[in-house]
Amino acid sequence: MNFHFENKKLNELFSSLYEAIENEDDKSLKIQKELDLYIKLLCENPSTKPSQGEVLYLKENINKLSAIAEQKREYSGKKVLKQKQNSKAIAKYRSV
């Protein structure tokens, strides 16, 4: 997924977060916190405060990443449940 922010650091953080989510990497929470702090810093500083259009683009991309993360979480949950069911079936078969 490509991000097209004017701010290079935002592009790097969003790209890193997207990759971490896709790879189900534990670093995603760390990157998310760093991104949150960076956005807060940008918004609080009058000289770097994003325009209305940039804010909408930020929200749109945050929502996209949130949806992707939710899908990954659901998929992982279903995968774990399926593994548990398979393990129970194997254990039951072996006990017969």
% of the chain exceeding 90 in pLDDT: 39
4-37 burial, b at 16+ Cβ within 10 Å, e below that, comes to: ebebeebeebbebbbebbeeeeeebeebbeebee
**Residue 55 belongs to what domain range?**
8-68
- Judged against a pLDDT cut of 90, whether residue 79 lies above it is answered with no
64: in domain? yes
| Domain count along the chain | 1
73: in domain? no
At 21-37, the pLDDT tens digits run: 888 878 888 999 999 99
83: in domain? no
Q: How many CA atoms lie within 13 A of 31 on its CB side?
A: 20
Gap between the Cα atoms of 78 and 71, Å rounded: 11
40: in domain? yes
Q: What is the pLDDT of residue 96?
A: 65
39: in domain? yes
